Structure 1
Amino acid sequence: MSNIPSFVTIGEAMAMFVADSPGDLSHVNSFSRSLAGAEINVAIGIARLGIPSTYITKVGNDSFGDFIKHSIQHENIQTKYVLGSDTNATGFMLKSNVTDGSDPKVEYYRRNSAASTLNTDDIDSELFHPQPHLHLTGVSVAVSETLRRAAKKTLKLAKAQGCRVSFDTNLRPALWPDQATMIKEINDFAFASDIVLPGIEEGEILAGSDQPEAIADFYLSHGSQAVIVKLGSQGAYYKTNKGEFGTVAGFPVDTVVDTVGAGDSFAVGVISALLDGQDIAQAARRGNLLGSLTVQVRGDSEGLPTRDVLNQLEKVDKHEAQSTAL
C-alpha cells in the first residue's frame, strides 16, 4: 500500500458566470465564466499543492459539462469518476460583482441537475485503496436525496478502510425542506467524521451555541476527534479529543474583494497541513492563511496557491512570528 497521501471528495461542480461589472444581475450584460462548487474548490486547492486528488461527480453531456471536465483535467485532478448524463443537464450559477467587500448575490440553476442524480451505484469501493483523506461538505449532502445517500456510502466505505474524514458543515438552508431536517442530516455526517469544520454562525444553528468551545465540545461529545471553528477575520478556534485547544489568529486583509470560497480555502489549508504531518494548530493557521488569500481575489478558487507559493508564504509567516517573539 502506497504511503503517498491522497484526497477524495464528492459533490456538484457548476459553471459559474461572474458579472463583469457591479450592479443588479438583471442589468449586467457580460459575465466571465469559471468553475464553482464547494468540493471542487477544495479538490483544486489540494491538487495545486501536489497531492493526488480524485473528484466524484456527474455532469450533463453538454457544453457546461465539457467545460467542467476540461477544467478539472487542467487542475490535474483524477477524472475517472466524473460521470456523464444524457438525461440531466449540468448546473450553473450567476454571481454578482461587489466592490464593498460584502457577500455577492448568487443565483443557482441546479434543480434536477446531472449531479443531483449521482447515486450509490456510482461509488466504487476501490476509491479507498490506498487510504485517502475523504472530505465531505453540507452542500453535497443537501443537493438531493440520492447524492446524500452516495455521500453516506463514501463515508461508510472510508471509515471501514480506516481513512480520515473531514466534514465542512457548509449550510445551504434553501436546499433543505426545513431546518430540523437540515440540522439532523448535517449533524449525522459531522458526528461520523473525524474532523468537523463549522463556522461560528453555523455552530449556533447546529450546536445551539455561538461560543467556539461549546460548539467544539458538542461535536467532540458525539464522537468527532477534532473540531476547528471558523471565526472569520478573527481566525479559528480548535479543540481535540486529546485535550488540545486554542485560538489561532487570522491574517490581516487590507481589501476584501470576494468572500465566496473562503471556507473552502480554509478546508484546503487544514487538510493539506494534516496530510503534510502538521499538528492541529498548524493546520488551523494554514487554513486562516489560505482563506485570507481567497477573499482578496474575485473567484472561488483563483487565489489558491501552488506548493512553491505556499512554501514562500509560510516561510515569511514563520519569520515574522519569530521576529515578534524576539
Structure 2
Amino acid sequence: MRVLAIGECMAELAPTKTEGDFRLGFAGDTFNTAWYLARCAPQVEVSYLTVVGNDAISNKMTDFMRDSGIVDRFVQVSPDKTVGLYLISLDEGERSFSYWRGQSAARGLADDPTALDSAMAHGDLIYFSGITLAILNSERRAALLNALRKARAAGKTIAFDPNLRPKLWVSPGDMKRAIMEGAAVSDLVLPSFEDEAVWFDDASPTATAERYLEAGARTIIVKNGADPVLYVNGSARSEVAVAPVATLVDTTAAGDSFNAGVFARHAAGDTISDGVAYACALSRAVVQQRGALVPVDPASLPRPTNS
C-alpha cells in the first residue's frame, strides 16, 4: 500500500535544558502523521507532498524526511522561498508558540496541477488536513480540492482531518466553508469533537459524524479526548473506549499519531474497531512524552487477533 500525505512541514526551534539554547527539529500535522506511519507500518510506502526552499534549512528538512523513511519524490523546490518556522517558548512548563510562515514555500503546493495529479496517481490512500487547506489561497485551495475529487473518482481513498485552526483563516466562516468542502471530497474524516463543538456547534460526537456523512464522506472517526472514540461506517456505528493516560505530558501530536495508527491498521486489513484501538494506544504512548515526534515501540502496541 502507498500513502501520500499533503501539507506543510515546518522547522521547529524547541528549548533545551540549557537556558537560551534551542534544538532544531521538523514537524507539522500531516508530516507528523506520515512520520508515525512510517514507524508503525514499515511495509507501507509513505510519501509527502509539499514545497521547500533551495537553502540549507530546506535541505536539512528533506534529509530528515528521507532518514525517517518518508519518500520525498513529491517534494518540490521553490528557488526563492524557504520553509515555515515556529519557536516553542516555555513558561513554568507551559508551552506557547510563535510562528513565521507567511513566506512558506508550502503555500505553493497546489501551483502545478500536473504535479498534483501525478502525485495522487501514485498513492492508494491520500491524506490532507484543514491546515493543508488553510495555508492555500482560494485559487490554490480549489485546485487541490479538484485534484482530490478526481483522485477519489479514480478509486483512491481520501482521508481528511479537519484540524480546525481559526487563527490560520481569514474568518471562521471561511474556515467552516472550506472544511466542509474538504469533507465533500473525502472518504474518511477524522475530526476532534472538542473543536467541532466549538466551531460547528455540534451537540454530540454523533452530530459531528452525521454532518460529515451528509457532506459526502463514508466513514467518520470522531476523536474525543479521554472519552470513547465514535466511528460511523455506513449504517454501522460503535464506540471504542479510551484507556486512561498514566502521565499526560504533551498533547501536541495526539491527533496526528492517532491518525497514523488508523492508517497503519487500515493498510494491514484490520477492522475499523481494531484500527481505532491501535490508534488510541499509539496516541497514548505519544502524549506521555515531550514533543511532536517521539520514540515509539510498535511492538508494544496491541495487535488484533487476526494480525
What is the TM-score of this pair, normalised by structure 2?
0.91
Q: Residues of 2 paired with 1:20 and 1:214: CA distance?
A: 43
Worse overlay, 249-258 or 169-178: 249-258
Over residues 34-84 of structure 1, what are the superposed CA-to-partner deviations in whole Å (9 max), with x where a residue is unaligned?
111111111111222211011111111122201110100101211111111
For the pair 1:52 / 2:45, whether they are aligned, the reply is yes
Query: Partner of 2:185 in structure 1?
Result: 192
Q: Residues of 1 paired with 2:35 and 2:53: CA distance?
A: 21
8 Å contact kept, 1:99–1:257: no
Q: What aligned pairs does 1:1-326 form with structure 2 within 5 A after superposition?
A: 5-21=1-17, 29-48=20-39, 49-50=41-42, 51-97=44-90, 104-121=95-112, 123-129=115-121, 131-145=123-137, 147-241=140-234, 243-303=235-295, 305=296, 309-315=297-303
SS across alignment from 1:234: coil
Q: Residues of 1 paired with 2:98 and 2:67: CA distance?
A: 26
8 Å contact kept, 1:235–1:288: no
Q: Residues of 2 paired with 1:291 and 1:312: CA distance?
A: 13
The change in CA–CA distance for 1:188 and 1:299 in structure 2 (over 3 A counts) is same
Aligned partner letter, 2:31: I
Q: Percent identity?
A: 30
Aligned partner letter, 2:129: T
Once the two structures are TM-superposed, the CA of residue 150 in structure 1 deviates from its matched residue by 4.6
Q: Residues of 2 paired with 1:56 and 1:220: CA distance?
A: 27
Once the two structures are TM-superposed, the CA of residue 147 in structure 1 deviates from its matched residue by 4.8
Q: Residues of 2 paired with 1:69 and 1:202: CA distance?
A: 32
More strand by share: 2
Over residues 90-143 of structure 1, what are the superposed CA-to-partner deviations in whole Å (9 max), with x where a residue is unaligned?
11111234776x6x2111110121111223316342334455100110011001
Q: Residues of 1 paired with 2:240 and 2:29: CA distance?
A: 24
Report how many residues are paired. Answer: 301
What is the TM-score of this pair, normalised by structure 1?
0.86
8 Å contact kept, 2:4–2:123: no
Q: Residues of 2 paired with 1:280 and 1:45: CA distance?
A: 19
8 Å contact kept, 2:49–2:119: no
8 Å contact kept, 1:201–1:210: no
Unaligned runs of 5+ in 2: none
Q: Residues of 2 paired with 1:235 and 1:99: CA distance?
A: 31
Once the two structures are TM-superposed, the CA of residue 210 in structure 1 deviates from its matched residue by 3.3
